[in-house]
Structure 1
C-alpha cells in the first residue's frame, strides 16, 4: 500500500514538490549563511518525494547523541526558519491537507500534507527515516531514559 501511495503521490505533485524543496536548498547553500536551512530543505524535499511509510524524527532520538542541529543552535535556527517562512509553508501544507480531506478520496494525501506541515514548522535537527525505524528509535531512547532514572 505504501508503494502505491508513493507512486500516486510522486506522479500527482510529489516529484515537483521535492524538486522545489531541493532547488530552495541549493539556493540556500549558495548563500553560505543559509547552509543549515538548505540542509532542512533537502530533508523536507526527501520526505516530499515519497512520504508514505516515512517519518521525520528528531536526530537526537535517532542517534542518542546531541549535535548542532539538536542543540540550542538548532532551536534558534528553527525560530529563524519559522519567522521567515516556516509558518507560511506549514500553513500551505495544512490548507492542502484540508482540501485533500474534503475530497474523501484524498484523505491519504491529506495525512501526508499534515506530516509535511509539521516538519515545515521546525525542520532543523530532523532526519527522515522509515516509520519502523522511528518507532524502534523511540523505544530505544525511552529505554535509555528510563535506565538513567533508575541509576
Structure 2
C-alpha cells in the first residue's frame, strides 16, 4: 500500500515539491554561508519524493547550532513553507483519494519548520526500536 500511495504522491505533487526544495538547496549552497540550510533543503526534497513509510526523528547529537539554525530557518522560510503545506493539505482533503496525500502533506510541516538536527528513517526502524522483540 505504501508503494501505491508513494507513486500517486510522486505523480501528483511530490515531484514538484522536491524540485522546489532542490532549487532552494542549490541557491543556499551557492551562497556558502547558508550551506547547512541547503543541505536541509535537500533532505526535505528527499522526504517529499517518497514520504509514506518514513518518519522524521530528532538526532541525539543535535545541539545548540541546530537550535539556532532552526530559529533562523523558521523566521526566514519555515513558517511560509508550513503554511503552504497546511493549505495544500486542506485542499487535498476535499476528496477521498486526496486524504492520504493531505496526511502526507501534514507530515511535511514539522520538517519544513525545523529541518536541522533531524534525520529521516524508515517507519519500520522506529517501530523496531520502540518495541524490540524478545527471543
Q: Is the shorter-chain TM-score for this pair beyond 0.5, marking a shared fold? A: yes
Q: Tell me, which stretches of 5 or more residues in structure 2 are unaligned?
A: none
Instruction: List structure 1 runs of 4+ shifted beyond 4 angstroms.
Output: 137-140
With structure 2 as the length reference, what TM-score do the two structures score? 0.91
Distance (whole Å) between structure 1 residues aligned to residue 77 and residue 130 of structure 2: 29
Q: Note the aligned Cα RMSD (angstroms).
A: 1.4
**Partner of 2:52 in structure 1?**
52
Distance (whole Å) between structure 2 residues aligned to residue 27 and residue 3 of structure 1: 31
SS in 2 for 1:80: helix
SS in 1 for 2:43: helix
| 138 and 36 in structure 1: CA distance in 2 versus 1, 3 angstrom threshold | farther
Superposed counterparts of 1:65-80, under 5 Å: 66=61, 70-80=62-72
Q: Tell me, which stretches of 5 or more residues in structure 1 are unaligned?
A: 61-65, 141-151
Distance (whole Å) between structure 2 residues aligned to residue 12 and residue 3 of structure 1: 14
Distance apart, 1:131 and its partner CA? 0.7
**Partner of 2:80 in structure 1?**
88
**Partner of 2:14 in structure 1?**
14
